[in-house]
Amino acid sequence: MIVATWNVNSIRQRGENLVAWLRERQPDIVCLQETKTQDESFPREPLEALGYNVAVHGQKTFNGVAILSKLPFDEVTARLPGDEADDHARFLEAVVSTKTGALRVASIYLPNGNPTNTDKYPYKLKWMDRLFKYTRERLALEEPLVLAGDYNAIPSGADVHNPELWVNDALFLPTTRAKFRALTNLGLTDAIRAVSDEGGLYTFWDYQAGAWQKNNGIRIDHLLLSPPAADRLVTAGIDKHVRSWEKPSDHVPAWIELALEAR
DNA sequence: ATGGCCAATATGATTGGA
């Protein structure tokens, strides 16, 4: 079973690329971020035509997450607990059934946090604290769990082409990295790092300043696995070539293969 | 080679992204 994540930077602008990539990678479950549209205007039909069930949690203009699944949804829950006043559409969780039991998947769009001298950075840090608490509770279930999405966090200097450019950025500040580390230290496996120690593994290249042409990338889209999911990890990868397509997102898909089968 | 983008919005300038 393949589980993937992709920040598409507008689902309405990325329809052709998304369908082309789905045909190529053949994922069973896909977590999408930055869909940037309300649920009633989410283009479900071309995805349903490919055999996907579609769960959406969007809002006007910004943010927005979704999950596509060839397996039927047993449960779908929007919103990360811990702040009723938070109205950003950044979190969607689904449960599907496999031959060996439930698989839980969450699509995560963690706040960017820039500029750091505004309330955006404290909002990011509080969101990371909420994700920590949610994860600690979910791990107690001892289920296969995949937390997949755009974390807006560069875990280490090995995950950025030019670290000096990012030292004062909300994605790379020591506090951001410490909170990301605290999250994984709960017992989550960073799937890409579980299969490769290589540098130069990036998932985002800015549209500006020739970042793609210079390979000035960062790795901020992650699939974090609970121990029962990590035990089933076969391989993982990043579909870098998608960044060179016409009309690309600034992010590319990342994916894992799990030794799990649909029920 | 110093800069260079893209998307949404009652849109033609502003906001947000990373």
What is the secondary structure of chain A as a DSSP string? -EEEEEE-S-TTTSHHHHHHHHHHH--SEEEEE---S-GGGS--HHHHTTT-EEEEE--SSS--EEEEESSPPSEEEES-SS-TT-----EEEEEEEETTEEEEEEEEE-----STTSTHHHHHHHHHHHHHHHHHHHHTT---EEEEEE-----SGGGBS-GGGGTTSTTTSHHHHHHHHHHHHTT-EEHHHHH---S---SEE-SSTTTTTTT-EE--EEEEE-HHHHTTEEEEEE-GGGGGSSS--SB--EEEEES--B-
Question: Is A204's CB less than 7 Å from nucleic acid strand B?
Answer: yes
Average pLDDT over chain A reads 97
Judged against a pLDDT cut of 90, whether residue A91 lies above it is answered with yes
pLDDT in the model for residue A82? 96
CATH of A2-258, one of 3.40.50.11540, 3.30.70.3340, 3.10.110.10, 3.60.10.10: 3.60.10.10
Gap from A121 CA to B3 C1', in Å? 28
Gap from A150 CA to B5 C1', in Å? 20
- pTM given for the model: 0.97
Q: Which residue is nearest to nucleotide B17 (CA to C1')?
A: A112
Q: In this predicted model, what pLDDT tens digit does every residue of A101-119 receive, in sequence order? A: 999 999 999 999 999 999 9
Q: pLDDT grade, residue A263 (50/70/90)?
A: confident
Gap from A101 CA to B8 C1', in Å? 41
